[in-house]
């Protein structure tokens, strides 16, 4: 059996590529500078409080895990990319947040069934390639009656459109991998969670982004800092013409979303969904 025909070896190779992609650029800067409030929004929606046992899936550098810990919860933050966990440890220490950091694959969580009162993910699990596997693990490790909370970019929103814009320029995804922004579709997430949950509440919201004064500033920032964007540009490095095409496509996308005359802002749409695991 070749490595290509061995499903386990193929999955390990895929996860290694994902790990390397998120180590590119500076995702902790994106989380801290561009979307610093999203984690706290998710924590509040989940009703996290003192003494709760909380798991942050695909936690990155702790955008949601840190506010959960500061709310008094006992928090475990797991992520596939150790470089992000290291940044998270330092950030948590600076803020006095006590968190257990652990390298973990969202599709094969190293935790017991029903171990957590709340299982949440803030624009994290959406990037695991096999959606049903990720959703199944989130449900499995949540206790009966516990809370599941998910915050993900919608397909129709700016980040969803950014991924659609980059897709023709990126290497083809491996068989079975699903587009991340599908996690921002209420129907898709409801189907993933199925009858394992009840009391589903789904809301589309936007976060105001005022970091970028003009479209080129957005493109330059994401080319330097956002792992998926960095990876696409690296794949095009030997083709200046295609690089220029992607520059233009992303610039036009940003131009269509920037609003305001005195201060340029964008509204990025996300889906905030909470549910209770069925008893």
Q: What is the pLDDT of residues 235-258, one digit of tens each?
A: 999 999 999 999 999 999 999 999
pLDDT confidence band for 1 (50 / 70 / 90)? very low
Query: 67-106, pLDDT tens digit by residue?
Result: 999 999 999 999 999 999 999 999 999 999 999 999 999 9
The string of pLDDT tens digits covering residues 214-226 is 999 999 999 999 9
* 74/114 Cα distance (integer angstroms): 15
53 bridge partner residues: 74
Q: Per residue in 20-61, pLDDT tens?
A: 999 999 999 999 999 999 999 999 999 999 999 999 999 999
State percent of the chain over pLDDT 90.
Answer: 92
Which residues are CB-neighbours of 35 under 8 A, at least 6 positions away?
A: 63, 123, 207, 209, 268
Domains and CATH numbers, the chain: 7-208+270-277 (3.40.50.150)
Q: How far is CA 250 from CA 34, 239, 253, in A?
A: 17, 17, 5
**Among the residues of the chain, which ranges form H helices?**
7-23, 27-33, 38-46, 65-70, 82-95, 131-141, 158-166, 186-193, 215-225, 227-235, 240-257
Q: For 127-149, what is each residue's pLDDT tens digit?
A: 999 999 999 999 999 999 999 99
Please list, in sequence order, all residues whose beta carbon lies within 8 angstroms of the beta carbon of residue 52, skipping any fewer than 6 positions away: 68, 72, 73, 74, 117, 118
pTM: 0.95
């Amino acid at each position: 059996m070749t490595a290509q025909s061995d499903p386990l070896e193929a999955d390990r190779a895929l996860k290694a590529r994902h790990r390397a992609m998120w180590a590119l650029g500076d995702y902790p800067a994106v989380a801290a500078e561009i979307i610093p409030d999203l984690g706290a929004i998710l924590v509040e929606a989940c009703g996290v409080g003192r003494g709760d046992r909380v798991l942050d899936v695909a936690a990155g550098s702790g955008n949601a895990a840190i506010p959960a810990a500061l709310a008094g919860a006992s928090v475990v933050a797991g992520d596939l990319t150790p470089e992000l966990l290291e940044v998270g440890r330092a950030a948590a220490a600076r803020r006095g947040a006590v968190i257990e950091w652990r390298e973990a694959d969202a599709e094969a969580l190293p935790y017991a069934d029903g171990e957590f009162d709340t299982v949440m993910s803030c624009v994290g699990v959406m990037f695991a390639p096999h959606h049903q596997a990720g959703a199944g693990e989130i449900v499995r490790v949540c206790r009966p009656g516990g809370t599941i909370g998910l915050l993900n970019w919608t397909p129709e929103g700016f980040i969803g459109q950014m991924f659609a814009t980059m897709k023709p320029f990126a290497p083809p995804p491996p068989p079975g991998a699903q587009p991340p922004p599908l996690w921002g579709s209420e129907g898709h997430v409801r189907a993933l969670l199925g009858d394992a949950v009840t009391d589903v509440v789904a809301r589309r919201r936007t976060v105001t982004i005022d970091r970028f004064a003009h479209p080129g500033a957005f493109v330059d920032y994401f080319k330097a800092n956002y792992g998926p964007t960095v990876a696409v540009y690296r794949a095009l490095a030997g083709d200046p013409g295609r690089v220029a095409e992607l520059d233009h496509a992303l610039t036009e996308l940003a131009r269509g979303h920037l609003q305001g005359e005195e201060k340029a802002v964008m509204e990025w749409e996300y889906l905030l969904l909470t549910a209770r695991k069925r008893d």
